[in-house]
Amino acid sequence: MTPQEEIIELRQQLEQHNYNYYVLSQPTISDFEFDAMLRRLQDLEKQYPEMYDPNSPTMRVGSDINQKFVQVNHRYPMLSLANTYNEAEIREWYDRVVKGLDGEKPQIVCELKFDGVSISLWYDDGMLTRAVTRGDGIQGDDVTANVRTIRSIPLKLQGDFPKILEMRGEVLMPWKVFDQLNHERELQEEQLFANPRNATSGTIKQQNSAIVAQRHLDAYLYYVLGEQLPATTHYENLMAAKHWGFKISEHIKLANSIDDIMAFITYWDEQRHQLPFATDGVVLKVNDIHQQQELGLTAKSPRWAIAFKFQAEKACTRLNSISYQVGRTGAITPVANLDPVLLAGTIVKRASLHNADIIKQLDLHIGDMVFVEKGGEIIPKITGVDISQRSFMAGPEVEFITRCPECGTPLVKDPAEAAHYCPNDQCPPQRIGKIIHFVSRKAMDIDGLGEETIQLMYQQKLLTNIADIYQLTAPQIANLERMGTKSAHNIIQAINDSKKVPFTRVLFAIGIRFVGQTVAKQVAMAMRNIDNIIAADKTTLMAIDGVGEKIANSIIHYCADPQNIEIINRLRQYGLQMQISENEQQQQSNKLSGMTFVISGVFSKHSREQYKAMIENNGGKNVASVSAKTTYILAGDNMGPAKLQKAQQLGVKIISEDDFLTMIDNNDNDE
C-alpha cells in the first residue's frame, strides 16, 4: 500500500469510527487506538501535503490561527418559529392548521427544542462545504472552520444522499462539558457562563478553532432542505438523514391528535432534566411537506410549525445568611445560603449574588423568602423577594461587607467595576488561588498538584507562593497525607517538565490581573522578555494589540510590587522560560505588516495552515474572502474559481507559494 493509499484508508476508517462513537454511541475501538490512527494520519499528511483535504478527520482539532467571519447569504431564509407558553395557544395553533388544510387533520412531528445555536450545514456531493449561523435569517456568519471541529457533524456523508443538501440543526454544549468549563473558568476567576446556550454561542464565534475543538460541542440536526429529497414527509427525511451520518434525536414522536401532542409536552416538561443537554421546550411541525407548502409562511415564521417553551423552574425559600468568598485576584463574591429546596431536579442550598449592586437591587433582608430560579441556568440565582411574606420578624437589610472576611483588610472598589476587592496580596485565599492558577493545565500544567494538595502544602508552610513550588522535594511530598513515593516522584517530574513551558504561558501563569491567555501571548510576543515588560510604560503596553488602559495599568501595578519582582527573579533562577525562544523570535517579524492575504488552493511546499502561520508570524493578516482591501491572494493548485474571478474584477494580485517565500527571503536581505 502506498502512503497515499494509506492516507485515504485511514480517513475512511477514522470517519466510520467517529460516526460510531459520536452519533451511534457504539464505539468499536478504544480511544487509544483511535488516537494512534489519528496521529499516523497526521504524520502522513505532513509528509504528503499534496494530499490536503479540508474534510480530513485531522481537521477536527482546529487551528490557532485567527480568522474573521464572513457574512454569507442563506440559500433558504432561516426563519424563527413562533413561540407559545401555554396549552390553549397550542390548541389554537392546531385548529388554525386544520382550518388551513380545509378540515384535514395533519400528522404532527413532535421534537425537543434544543437550547443552543442554530446552524445551517451545506453539503455538495456529500462533502461539508459551509456552515452558517442564523444571523438575521437572511445572512449569517461563516463558521465552517469551527464547525469542522464538532465530531458529531459529518464532514463526508455516507449512503445514497442528494447531490446538493442543506441540513439545519442546533449546536449545543452538553451539561457535563458545561460544568467542567465553568469549573475551569471559576478557578481562573473568569466570568462564568450563565448557561450552556451562552457558552455555545461564545464558543462557536471563537476566532480560534483550536479552542472550539477543546470545548467538545455537540450537534443535533432536525431539518432537511434540498431539491431532491428522498421523501415527501419531514419525519422520513430525518430518518434518511440518520443513515447519511447525521445525529438525529431519538426523542421524536409522530402525533395524530392534539391529545398526543399534549402528552408529549407534559412528559418532557417533567423528564427534560434527565437529558444530557439543555432543552427549553418542544417544537411541533406538520409532517407532510405538501401540507407545509399549502400552509405557507408569515413574514417571520412558518405557519406549519410552532415552538412551545417550558416555564423556567423557580422556587421560594428562606434566605438564612450571606457568606463571602475571596478569589485569587482578591475579588469578593457574595453567596446566599438558603433553606434547601428542590429545583430542576437538584437540591439547591446556595445561590450566587455576584456583587453589591445585585444585593442592593434586590433589597435583601436576612430571613426573606426569596425566589430562586434555574431554568436554563446551571448556577441558581435569586430573582426576587416575596415582599408579602416579609414580616416584622425579618432580619436586617443585607449590607455588603467593608473588610475582607479572611484577613480583615478594608475592601476597595473601582468605580468602573462592580466587584469589591481585598487589596492584600498576602491574604491566604489569594495566595492559594494564585498557586492553583499557576499549576493549572492552561498555565504551567503541573499534574498532581490539585487544589486539596496545594491547600495542605500551604497549611504546612511548604508553599507560600508560586516560586516555592520549585523548592519542593520528593520526601516532603511523600510525607503528606494520601501521598507516597511514586506520587512524589511524578509531581517532581511534572515540576521539572514545567521549566520547558514557553514564556507566553509563563506570563499567563504568574497571574497578573486581567492578563488572560490571549493577552499574555500578545504581550509576550511584542515585548520579547520579562525584563522589557517590567520596564515598559503605559504607552508602550497600550501599543500592543489587545491591551487597553485597564490591562496596561494592571501590568504596571504588578511590576511595581517588589514582592512580585522577587518571585519572578526566583522563577528565573529555577530555570523557567522568561523570554521568547530563539525559534519563536526567528519566526516573528513585521515584514508583512499592513498586508492582508487570502489563501486558496492546494500547496506542495507547506500546508495551508503553515502558510497562515507564516503570514501572522510576519505581521500579516489572514482573511477568508477577497475584497478591495486584500493585498495578495496566495494561490496554489486548483484555486477556487469564485476567488479567481473576484480577484480579477478587483485587481488583487495573485502570487504563488514560490513568490511568497521569495518575498519573505528578500525582505530578510533588506533588513
Place of cell 430573582: 383
- Edge-first strand order for the sheet with 653-655 is 621-622, 596-600, 632-635, 653-655
Amino acid, res. 506: V
Query: What CA–CA distance (Å, rounded) separates 626 from 651?
Result: 11
Q: Is residue 283 within a helix (H) or strand (E), and if so which, with residue range?
A: strand 279-286
Whether 113 is a known active-site residue: answer yes
Pick from 254, 241, 295, 231: nearest CA to 111: 254
Q: Which letter does DSSP use for residue 410 in this model?
A: B
Place of cell 493585498: 631
Write down the catalytic residue from 46, 105, 113, 442.
Answer: 113
Look up residue 490 and give its three cell numbers: 511524578
56 in Cβ contact with 45 (< 8 Å): yes
Tell me how far the alpha carbon of residue 383 is from its chain's centroid: 27
Pick from 169, 152, 129, 134: nearest CA to 213: 152
For 431, the 3-state DSSP assignment is helix
Cα four-point dihedral sign 364, 367, 373, 377:
positive
Beta bridge pairs of residue 467: none
Place of cell 492553583: 436
Query: What CA–CA distance (Å, rounded) separates 250 from 586?
Result: 53
Question: What percent of the chain is helix, strand and coil (3-state, nearest 5)?
Answer: 40, 20, 40
Look up residue 144 and give its three cell numbers: 465552517
Query: What CA–CA distance (Å, rounded) separates 392 from 388?
Result: 11
Query: What CA–CA distance (Å, rounded) separates 467 from 574?
Result: 8
370 in Cβ contact with 382 (< 8 Å): yes
Query: What CA–CA distance (Å, rounded) separates 95 from 103?
Result: 9
Residue 542: half-sphere exposure toward Cβ, Cα within 13 Å: 9
Residue 629: half-sphere exposure toward Cβ, Cα within 13 Å: 8
φ, ψ of residue 255 to 5 degrees: the values are -110, 135
Q: Is residue 113 within a helix (H) or strand (E), and if so which, with residue range?
A: strand 108-114
420 in Cβ contact with 400 (< 8 Å): yes
Q: What angle do CA 258, 310, 216 make, to 5 degrees?
A: 115
Contacts 24+ apart (CB under 8 A), 255-259: 255/107, 255/108, 255/109, 255/110, 255/284, 256/105, 256/107, 256/108, 257/105, 258/90, 258/91, 258/94
Torsion of CA 301, 305, 307, 308, to 10 degrees: 140
Q: Which letter does DSSP use for residue 58 in this model?
A: G
Residues forming the active site = 113
